Amino acid sequence: MKLGRFLIAALGLAAASYLVVAEGIGPVFGALSVAGWGGLGAITLFHVLPTVLCGIAWWLLLRARSPESWFLFSWVRWIRDGIDGVIPILPVSGELVGTRILAQRGLTLAGASIVVDLTAELLGQVLFAILGFVLLVVSHPEAPYKLWIGLGILLMSLEFTGFLVAQKKGLFRLIERPLDWIRGRRQGAESDAERTLHERILHLYDDVPAFVGCILLHFAAWVLGALEAWIALYFMGHPLGVGDVFAIEGLVYAIRSVTFFIPLGAGVQEGGYVLIGGLLGLSPELALALSLLKRGRDLVIGTPALVCWQLIEGQRFRRARRRSDLPA
């Protein structure tokens, strides 16, 4: 599996490199140099806002079941996103690390909350993609490919809604049933610690206001995140209207979501910016420079997040080793 993902990533990086060479290395990196460190620093600092919103959305699901504050969830969200942006060994590498950190702090619903939070984020993205499509149709009615883009968003909406329905119908129960048979586990557990993952997920979905609030907060985070592209283009000296930026970001990240199996969206993100940006008057070299600037932001955010995670794991290892060295 890792070899397959490596090959897919290599092909994506090759495609992205081809786009940069085809459009001209000079113009692309010229636009990047205009943005400079100021542009990179601006979008990196601004990214704190959607990260905090996502952390609050996650905390909202567990606010009545955990003594931890929203700050902890925002901090773990930063680590989640950072790992996904640097070393996506699996499509949910960051989510697995986030689950592990919260579980080590005693949160029995950590795994279930990740599933529900990710579902809410995907549904929030559907709303954002629909917003982007509407803005595209309203502001550029002559733009081509509208039918295909609309069908793609419809497919994405059905896919993400189907994921929610599948969870409620027992998707994770199918995975856990053989393990329950082996362990001889009884049905109808009362406490969070005794419930299966499927039961914990349903338990969180029972809090409908929290789930709806989580979706809306993620939608707001997507909207805020789109403003990073506006800031980046401003620093490049080619600002677009906010509506056009929302349309580009909503549709590009919709493309990335349906191609989640490609690590880092390598090649997909670059091609998406060139295609969608071209429909809204963004030149290919600016589209590629925007994508590369966002890659730089991911690296700046992800590297310290990765280091922080390793420090957490190292501390945990040392504590476990000291306990094992204590006399019986």
CA distance 135 to 153: 14
Confidence class of residue 79 from pLDDT cuts 50, 70 and 90?
Answer: very high
The total of structural domains in the chain comes to 1
Identify the DSSP state of 264: G
Residue 100: inside a domain: yes
Residue 220: inside a domain: yes
Q: pLDDT at position 5, please?
A: 60
Phi, psi of 66 (to 5 degrees): -145, 140
Q: pLDDT at position 181, please?
A: 41
Question: What pTM value is reported for the model?
Answer: 0.87
| Choice among 24-28, 136-140, 209-213 with the minimum mean pLDDT | 24-28
Residue 328: inside a domain: no
Calculate mean pLDDT across residues 298-315.
90
Q: pLDDT at position 305, please?
A: 92
| Choice among 15-19, 104-108, 117-121 with the minimum mean pLDDT | 15-19
CB count in 10 Å sphere of residue 118? 18
CB contact at 8 A, 191 and 13:
no
Mean of per-residue pLDDT scores for the chain: 84
Calculate mean pLDDT across residues 188-206.
75
Residues near 43 by beta carbon (within 8 Å), at least 6 away in sequence: 228, 231, 232, 293, 294, 297
What six digits make up the tokens of 92?
């949910």
Side-chain-facing half-sphere of 292: CA atoms under 13 Å: 23
Residue listed under structure tokens 């295609």: 275
Q: pLDDT at position 12, please?
A: 63
pLDDT of 242 above 50: yes
pLDDT digits (tens, 9 = 90+) for 116-168: 999 999 999 999 999 999 998 888 888 788 888 888 899 989 999 999 999 98
Cα dihedral 238/241/246/252 (nearest 10): -40
Calculate mean pLDDT across residues 241-246.
89
The dihedral built from the CA positions of residue 106, 108, 111 and 113, taken in this order, carries a sign that is: negative
Out of 10-19, 253-262, 281-290, give the one with best mean pLDDT.
Answer: 281-290
Confidence class of residue 187 from pLDDT cuts 50, 70 and 90?
Answer: low
Cα dihedral 128/131/136/139 (nearest 10): -140
What residues make up the domain containing 8? Answer: 2-322
Residue 33: inside a domain: yes
Q: pLDDT at position 35, please?
A: 81
Q: Closest Cα partner for 311 from 145, 135, 122, 101?
A: 101
Query: 319 or 243: which carries more pLDDT confidence?
Result: 243
Residue 28: inside a domain: yes
CB contact at 8 A, 253 and 222:
yes
